[in-house]
């Protein structure tokens, strides 16, 4: 088995989860798109996992514990597990984003701490 996985993701789908497609073992990553005026149809939170969002297209907002956070291309957003969140695309713009989900406080090293010169 190769020491890497590669997959292409259609950018017009509403949601693509990469866990199984890339055989991920330490994170869940999804690529998401909300059409203009649409929203994630539920409020949610997590037991253990924080989420990191990267806005790839359009504009919208997240409502996190009742606070509205405006979102636009290039924004990064980290949300603690216990925070209740819901995402909305702007009325006149779709919202594209990548969500990375990892266990809170699990990072044991950073890029240079973990890297080894071959």
Residues 36-48: pLDDT tens digits?
A: 999 999 999 999 9
- For residue 19, give its domain range: 12-73
Q: Is residue 54 part of a domain?
A: yes
Residues 72-86 pLDDT 10s: 999 999 999 999 999
Q: Is residue 87 part of a domain?
A: no
Q: Is residue 115 part of a domain?
A: no
Confidence (pLDDT) at 117: 79
Confidence (pLDDT) at 2: 87
Is 90:72 a contact under the CB 8 Å cutoff?
A: no
Q: How many domains does the chain have?
A: 1
- Residue 72 has which token pair? 């636009």
Q: Is residue 95 part of a domain?
A: no
Q: Domain holding 38: CATH number?
A: 2.60.120.10
Q: What is the pTM of this model?
A: 0.91
């Amino acid at each position: 088995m190769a020491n890497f996985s590669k997959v292409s993701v259609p950018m017009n789908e509403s949601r693509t989860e990469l866990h199984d497609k890339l055989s991920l073992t330490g994170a869940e990553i999804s690529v998401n798109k909300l059409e203009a005026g649409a929203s994630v149809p539920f409020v949610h939170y997590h037991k253990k996992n924080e989420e990191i969002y990267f806005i790839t297209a359009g504009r919208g907002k997240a409502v996190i514990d009742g606070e509205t956070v405006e979102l636009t291309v290039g924004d990064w957003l980290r949300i603690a597990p216990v925070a209740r969140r819901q995402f909305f695309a702007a009325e006149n713009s779709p919202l594209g984003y990548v969500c990375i989900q990892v266990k809170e406080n699990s990072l044991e090293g950073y890029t240079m701490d973990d890297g080894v010169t071959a």
